[in-house]
Amino acid sequence: MSPPATYKAPLRELRFVLNDLLGIDEEMKALRLPEPLVREDIDALMEDMAAFAEEVLAPLNQSADREGCTWRDGEVATPGGFKAAYDMFRGKGWAGLGAAIEHGGRAWPTVLTHLVTELIGSANHSWLMYHSISRGGYECIRANGTPAQQAAYVPHLASGAWTSSMCITEREAGTDVGLLRTVAVPQPDGSYRLTGLKRMVTAAEHDLADNIVHLVLARIEDAPEGARGLSLFIVPRHLPGAAERNGVRCEGLEDKMGIRGTPTCWLRLDGARGELLNTAGNGLVAMFVMMNIARLATGMQGVNQAEAAYQLARDHARTRLQGRGFGGARVPEPRPAADPLIVHADVRRMLLVQKAWTEGSRALAYWLALQVDRSKLHPEPSVRREADELVSLLTPVLKAFATDNGYASTTLAQQVMGGWGYLDDSGVHQYLRDVRVGQIYEGANGIQGQDLLGRKILGDGGARLRRFLDVVHQVLEKNEAHPVLQPWVAQTRTLCVRLDALARQLIARAPSHPNQVGASGHSCLRIVGVLALAWQWIGMASIAQRRIDVQQSDAFDVAKVATARFYFAHLFPEVEQHLLVAAQDDDAVMALDADFF
């Protein structure tokens, strides 16, 4: 049998990334924060949140998956224990951890609010979704709302008393939102009446909060067709100060593969009263405040599910006895009848793939979150501008690369566990189902590849990409003389040169090959992702190796360097295939007639 599904917060890993890799103390001093943050504050939060994740949320994960949410007469009941956990979360003030102080929050920067996404998401992905969506709703209204709208909604979202939802998808309108049919009719008092049916709306109805503020993408009556005719509206379940319900009703729940503890709703708008957010026809711009936050959080969801699955697979491999290892297994005497799985080379390979992807993606996720903070809170305009360019370039990379690898890693975790991993009660079965949605929602991963290549690389002639390559080179130059790191530095430097050449080639070709972005986008994203993690692994390995050099290390540092070695030997070579594929023109993809598929 496999060990029971449990979760242990990787606090040593998190401290390494925040303190050693990012230098969080100095970074916090450099930002214009309303209140100073010191390491003791961060440690206290991390430990308290880890205990909440391990002791409160993790025990609810499998039961919530089995129980799911229950719909009845337009109302939704969440799984047992969710409401009590939500009240506890609110009571600790964590719902407003990143919200402004004037709204009742604590104004912690994004790099630290990411701890919520990782720790709580690893323990219970479904439960996290209620808070994660609301965080985006808060920021969207804060960025786009009038003073009156902010006063009416933002403090309630910051406290967690109210939650929010993002209502975009319809039966005929998914990625192509310009096809949606929900209509908003102007009223004499300046409000709107919205009519339509939204599908796949996360947490649009539940029993955790007093009110739900729906942000609805719709077309004002007689507005132009397509995306340019869309506007964004605030449509609360209950209008502020009103006891009666607004004209919005959950008509049912989607029957879905994973995150079953989160309701994914059919939401009927039947003359629901709403307020225009931002200006008419500017709906996509307003919505993307929420979408960009969601994409960064989704990338971290790939990390947190991979981490939880890896822990299960690692513990299984340590305790499950199967066969004899080749070449003499390192098992203490007296040897049991069989060796633990972890002595077998192929099992170690699968675990190392998970470890390398997860730890590398975690480092990238927190670094990118720090760039979000620098783009908003650093006093120097040039630093803010550079950070904003890096966030723009790498957000689609993190979203797609971390979720693709998160799913692949979770699949490997199941493979390590063999037949036990195929059983529902193993735990890994659920992680595999829960992580899968990250590749689909908040912009499918194929769209992220096209965004990276089409908008971010071709769109500015490769300027943002070259800026990122400059950042990578700074780390390479600091480490090129170290004998352990030098081969990895050389590999990474060569890839930088080849990527730059590829980008120039595609920039020149794209005007005459309209499908080049679609044909090459996926491979370009994989190349940039592998490069980004190589850069992070060199940074992490340099810290660990230098402690080893001066005999101030422990097993953690030894493992870091060994995992970096595995990354460059086994995972980095992926780029060879993608460099070849991305350089091909679009003819091989487009030549086959649609009727022949």
Which residues does the annotation mark as catalytic?
Answer: 442
18: left (phi over 0), alpha (psi -120 to 50) or beta: alpha
Count of C-beta atoms within a 10 Å radius of residue 324: 14
- The DSSP bridge partners found for residue 230 are 219
Alpha-carbon distance 213 to 211, whole Å?
7
The dihedrals phi and psi of 268, each to the nearest 5 degrees, come to -90, 125
Asked if 286 and 355 touch (Cβ cutoff 8 Å), the reply is no
H-helix or E-strand containing 307? helix 283-319
Furthest C-alpha separation in the chain = 85
| CA atoms lying within 13 Å on the CB side of residue 25 | 8
> Cα Rg for the chain, rounded, in angstroms?
24
Which DSSP symbol is given to 586? T
What residue type is 220 in one-letter code? I
Q: What share of the chain is helix, strand, coil (3-state, %, to 5)?
A: 60, 10, 25
If you search the block for the tokens 């050389």, which residue do you land on?
490
The token duo for 343 is 């002595």
SS3 state at 35: coil
Question: Whole-angstrom Cα distance, residue 260 to residue 68?
Answer: 5
Exposure string for 390-420, b = 16+ CB within 10 A, e = fewer: bbbbbbbbbbbbbbbbbbbbbbbbbebbeeb
User: Do the beta carbons of residue 442 and residue 305 sit within 8 Å?
Assistant: no
CB 517 within 8 A of CB 448: no
Exposed e or buried b per residue across 532-548, where buried means at least 16 C-beta atoms within 10 angstroms of its C-beta: bbbbbbbbbbbebbbbb
Q: How many CB atoms lie within 10 A of CB 17?
A: 23
∠ CA(427), CA(432), CA(433), 5° rounding? 100
Interatomic CA distance for residues 98 and 416, integer angstroms:
38
Contacts of 548 (CB under 8 A, 6+ apart): 557, 558, 561
- The DSSP H or E segment spanning 62 is helix 58-67
Beta bridge partners of 249: 268
| Cα distance between residue 359 and residue 211, in whole Å | 38
Strands 75-77, 162-167: pairing kind: unpaired
